Chains A and B, each alone.
Chain A
């Protein structure tokens, strides 16, 4: 009983400690790359293409549909509470910038990119490609993780901002079709409640998510057990842990940024 509790506690506690160690490794190697001027620019750009450009379609489509739902639901609630829906553009834009834009983008990136990274690195590990890199005296962490990390970080921030733009267009369209707004009317009253600080908060959120996501994905990729079962488990736990951490980090950042 006591042994079981102890083992369980150790297992739970060792997890964040290992991830934190992973993070310090990343910072050290990034500093070394920047310090010696051997920043792996090519790999980073390649990864930025495969992470950012190839996920853009899915993310823009999804956030566009989310914004349609958001505007319709807000109009429903406004009619219930205020008996009119003239504030829908302002309210839905605020919620989009502060909350749904960063979170939906991050959750989509978790499954598109997080699972992909974990599966890719796990496959490399079980087919001994990582050992092959070591034999060529290339530090695998330096070669594989750092470029992906920077790419995911940049992609998360850029995609979040672009997807908010897409979502605003989607919201304006559905408001014009279903609620009888003109486009000009919508864009005029859109920023009534949002401030510049909301955009800063949104970028902070996106870059927090963009840092956590490759951290967790690469960690699970490197810890993969051998066999196809190990690859599946690595991808699964990257998705699960990634999404939970996104929700948790969202709560923490929202709390710190808006209520303090």
Chain B
């Protein structure tokens, strides 16, 4: 039992390390050679623009769900005036980035893994190497950059939609009119909360890109290997996102305390 646990813990940590090294290699490649702009735009269209409707849809419902839940808790105190601020803040800082990143890890991450994995098992990547080109530079680097940029932008779009979704369900069903809802938001949501949401979005974008490119690029064992790698890529993305979420919450909270208490901003 303990041996199994220890082995699985070591292999998980090993996978994380390999993913990080692969990510560093791709970033180094990007810094050294850059990437063709047209290829980047094409990739951003494929992974980004096509996911907008999914993200907006998800963000809307995440905001609505959080508004209902916070409303249920505040109702017992008669403190519905705080609904706007609290649900926007919880959505922006914490639940929103987490749940929307979960969806994007499927929509953007699993798609990239499946695509690169199919190229790998059908020997297209070896073919590119035979032509004397570097597959990391021509295939992985533009995808990596495109996934980082578009996940970040999609998460920010999703968070904005979530606030809209919360306001709409509050006005339609919970009896808090939109003006009160929106006016209450700045009393609780500060610049630090927005910074937390945006920083989390960026880090989650990097995680999705690194894990999905690494998993796709190292696919083996034919068709069943592609399926297996899509599965493990999405699980690994989810777990890494959750850990990063905790770390970022902690660090940005600490930074905020430092700035307000020590520097007096």
Which residues of A pack against B, CB within 8 Å?
57-58, 61-62, 65-66, 68-70, 72-73, 76-77, 80-81, 91, 94-95, 98-100, 103, 107-108, 110-112, 115-116, 118-120, 122-123, 126-127, 193, 227-236, 239-240, 242-244, 247-248, 250-251, 254-255, 258-259
Contact = CB atoms under 8 A, between A and B. Distances in A.
B150 to A, nearest CB: 15
Interface string B72-115: 11001001001001100110011100110011011100110111
Interface residues of B, number: 64
Interface stretch (B23-31, B33-41, B63-71): B63-71
Interface of B: 5, 8, 54, 57-58, 61-62, 64-66, 68-69, 72-73, 76, 79, 82, 85-86, 89-90, 93-95, 98-99, 102-103, 105-107, 110-111, 113-115, 117-118, 121-122, 173-174, 188, 222-228, 230-231, 234-235, 237-239, 242-243, 245-246, 249-250, 253
A228 B116 CA distance: 11
B188 A81 contact: yes
Contact of B73 (A100, A127, A193, A255): A193
A259 B82 contact: no
A95 B105 contact: no
Contacts of A231: 223-224, 226-227
B94 A193 contact: no
A228 B61 contact: no
Given A81-B82, A259-B173, 9 more contacts: A72-B249, A77-B89, A111-B234, A229-B118, A229-B226, A232-B227, A234-B227, A239-B234, A247-B61
Nearest to B115: A232
User: Which 8 pairs from chain A and chain B are nearest by CB?
Assistant: A119-B227, A232-B114, A111-B234, A239-B106, A228-B223, A235-B230, A115-B231, A123-B224
Nearest to A235: B230
Most buried by B among A111, A244, A255, A259: A111
Contacts of B114: 229, 232-233, 235-236
A248 B242 CA distance: 21
B163 to A, nearest CB: 16
B246 A259 contact: no
16 contacts: A69-B94, A95-B69, A103-B99, A108-B238, A115-B230, A115-B234, A119-B224, A193-B73, A227-B118, A228-B226, A229-B118, A236-B110, A247-B62, A251-B64, A255-B173, A258-B72
B111 A58 contact: no
A22 B204 CA distance: 35
Given A72-B250, A77-B86, A247-B61, A91 B68 contact: no
Given A73-B249, A243-B103, A254 B115 contact: no
B77 to A, nearest CB: 9
A85 B230 CA distance: 42
Nearest to B54: A244
A129 B106 CA distance: 27
B222 A228 contact: yes
